[in-house]
Amino acid sequence: MKHIVIISSSIREGRKSPRVAQYFKQYIESRQLATVSVIDLAEYNFPVFTERLKFQKDPAEKTLEFASRIKAADAVLIVTPEYNGGIPASLKNVTDLLHEEWKRKPIAIAMVSGGPFAGTQVITSLLFTLWKIGATMVPSMFPVPNIEKSFDEEGKPADQEATDKRAAAFIGELLWYTGKLSE
C-alpha cells in the first residue's frame, strides 16, 4: 500500500487549514486508499532557512526527521492557506530546505481560504517553486473557500457528499500519478 504524507503548512495562531488535513487523513484511511501521516509544521518550529539540508554541518534532529519522512513518502499532499497572495513562510522554508527529497515526488495541493476565492493565488508561486526543484505536480487541485463554513474543527465537511465526491477525483489523481511514477 502506498504512503501519503499530508503537510499541514500553516503555523499561525487560530489557523483553520489543519481541518482540511484532518479531513483528508480520515478520507484516505477510511477507504483504505493508502497509509497516511500528517506533518504539522507548527510542531517543528524550524529556524528560518539558511542552507539546504545537504550542506548543513550539524542539522537538527527534527530537520533530519522531516527530510526522512518526505523521502519515504510515495506522495505528498500539501494543505496550505494563502497569505497575501503567496506561500506561507513556513511552507516556503521547508520547500527550500530539501532538494533530492522532492525530486519526482508526486505532490497534490489543497488550498484553503477564509474568503470566497479558496486560496487560488497561492498555487502560482507554489507550483513554480515545486516544479523548479523537480517535484511532479499533480494537475488537480482542491480549493476550499470559506473554511469556517466548509469544515468544522474536527475536519468534518459541511457538505459531506459533495466534498467526498471532489476528494475522490483529487485523491484519485494523486494515486494515479503515484502509481505511474513507481512503475
Average pLDDT over residues 149-155: 95
Residue among 124, 108, 126 at smallest CA distance from 169: 108
Whole-number Å distance between alpha carbons of 84 and 90: 14
Cα R_g (the chain), whole angstroms: 15
* Residue 38 pLDDT level (bands cut at 50, 70, 90): very high
Whole-number Å distance between alpha carbons of 35 and 46: 26
Q: What is the pLDDT of residue 85?
A: 83
Residue among 163, 168, 78 at smallest CA distance from 123: 78
* Structural domain boundaries in the chain: 3-182
- List, edge to edge, every strand of the sheet that includes 75-81: 35-40, 3-8, 75-81, 106-112, 136-144
Whole-number Å distance between alpha carbons of 45 and 119: 24
Whole-number Å distance between alpha carbons of 107 and 177: 9
Whole-number mean pLDDT of the chain?
A: 92
The SS3 of residue 113 is coil
pLDDT at 37 over 80: yes
Q: What is the pLDDT of residue 41?
A: 95
Fold of 3-182: Rossmann fold (3.40.50)
Residue among 182, 136, 178, 149 at smallest CA distance from 28: 178
169 contact partners, CB below 8 Å, separation of at least 6: 140
Cα 43 to chain centroid, rounded: 15
Dihedral of alpha carbons 4, 70, 41, 142, sign: negative
**What would the pLDDT profile of 57-100 be if each residue is shown by its tens digit?**
888 898 899 999 999 999 999 999 988 888 999 999 999 989 89
Q: What is the pLDDT of residue 119?
A: 79
Average pLDDT over residues 147-163: 96
* Residue 146 pLDDT level (bands cut at 50, 70, 90): very high
Average pLDDT over residues 128-139: 93
* Residue 121 pLDDT level (bands cut at 50, 70, 90): confident
* Residue 105 pLDDT level (bands cut at 50, 70, 90): very high
